[in-house]
A = this chain, B = another copy of it.
Amino acid sequence: MTKAVQTKSQKRQEARHAQILDAAAACFVKEGFHGTSMSKVAAEAKMSVGHIYHYFASKEEIILALVEREQEQTLVKVSEALTIPAEDLVEGFTERLSDSLCNHATPFQSILNHEILAEAQRNPKVAEKVYETDAMVREIFTKMFRERLGIEDCEARIEAMSAMFHGLGSRTQRNPNIDIDGLLPITREFLRQIFGK
């Protein structure tokens, strides 16, 4: 097999991999991790069950791969914070909070997050991935606090900031009439406190 052919086959493998994960995510969103079977994933992916098993040995493997993919996307998004100049941090994060409030209103992503967090408490392997992602996110924010703001002791600040991000996200699910614009001044004030600005 030549290198070019290998690459083509690898690309096809990756595309199939992504296709299965997309189908699995769609199933999990519709019927939960526990309401989804490998045959349902296969039907959604328009592939045979045997073909699915060629890529993933079990539903657990699919779940773990999906959590890993979510991890990669989260890290890309969080790393963008490192490109914000120190003087723009309060405004940059206020904007991100507002964006994330609008995004959390998308049921697909939010159901998937609930499924992952519920499953993390049932399955230690999923929990490990969730802990790992969060540790990586905290590391990025620690770098930001130390290098951009000169704040060494930032653990509690990062916890409170992360809580506010996750918590505001869940507000749209409990109050469909939430006044996002009305929240901006109070979150801006909160971020000033967190960033010591």
Name A's B-contacting residues (CB within 8 A): 30-36, 107, 110-111, 114-115, 117-118, 120-122, 127, 130-131, 133-135, 138, 155-157, 159-160, 162-168, 170-171, 173-176, 178-179, 182-183, 185-187, 189-190, 193-194
Closest to A171 in B: B163
Closest to A163 in B: B167
Q: List 28 A-B contacts (CB under 8 A).
A: A32-B33, A32-B34, A32-B35, A32-B118, A33-B35, A35-B35, A114-B117, A115-B118, A117-B173, A118-B118, A121-B173, A130-B173, A130-B174, A138-B175, A156-B182, A156-B185, A159-B171, A159-B175, A159-B178, A160-B186, A162-B171, A163-B163, A163-B168, A163-B171, A165-B167, A166-B171, A167-B168, A186-B193
Identical chains in the assembly? 2
Shortest CB distance A133–B (Å): 8
- Which of A156, A171, A193: most chain B CB closer than 10 A? A156
User: Could you say which of B30, B34, B130, B165 contacts A122, with CB atoms under 8 Å apart?
Assistant: B30
Closest to A178 in B: B159
